[in-house]
Amino acid sequence: MKSDIWYRNPWVWLIITFPMLAVIGGIATIIITNQNQPDMVIDDYYKKGKAINQELTLYNNAKELGISLSLKIDEQRIELKSPQTYTALKVNVVHSTLADQDFSLVLTPNGKGTLSSSVDSIMAGKWQIIIAPMDNAWKIRKDIALPNSTWIAL
């Protein structure tokens, strides 16, 4: 009886191929998920939950004070107009899904009677704008879609 060498038998390779493909696919999946992990929107949910009442109070303060603002975002500039006068306002620009795109800036009065600041180009998409005075007495938040070069009431 003549025995064939095992690696010359095509049935052996057929049986080995499918489990090896599953192992390679599993390793590739692990590598891809480790390299492309989603950003955590909020790292500590418990602390954020405790602070929500204070946050809501700030938004209610803006309504009670009758704060009205209009926002305009151009390619290189953020502009804010208001019937009230402010020495400066803090603005947080938060992307809905990409935490590395978030940035903060301070808007100061300019010669046109508005508050403004220059920015690097802002990518298109859904953004959350959070505006507060320097003393954090109130807050206003608005979700906007960019690009949009018109005045947006906040």
Domain total in the chain = 2
When the pLDDT of each residue in the chain is averaged and rounded to a whole number, the result is 84
- The yes-or-no verdict on residue 31 having pLDDT over 90 is yes
In the prediction, which pLDDT does 154 show?
79
Q: Which domain holds residue 135?
A: 45-153
Q: Is residue 39 assigned to a domain? A: no
In angstroms, the CA 137 to CA 84 distance is 14
Hey, what amino acid is at 144? I
Residue 49 lies in a domain: yes
In a domain, 80, yes or no: yes
pLDDT score for 30: 95
Residue 77 · residue 115 · CB < 8 Å: no
CA dist list (Å): 150 to 24, 95, 113, 153? 52, 19, 17, 10
Q: Are strands 77-81 and 125-133 parallel, antiparallel or unpaired?
A: unpaired
User: Quick one: 81 and 131 in the same domain?
Assistant: yes
Query: Which tokens in the block code for residue 89?
Result: 């306002």
Q: Looking at residue 124, what is its pLDDT?
A: 80
Span 85-136, pLDDT tens digits: 888 889 888 888 887 888 889 888 888 878 888 888 777 888 888 888 888 8
CA distance 38 to 128: 18
Has residue 79 got a pLDDT over 60? yes
Q: Mean of the pLDDT values across residues 34-60?
A: 74
> Does residue 119 lie in a domain region?
yes
Same domain, yes or no: 76 and 22: no
For residue 26, is it within any domain? yes
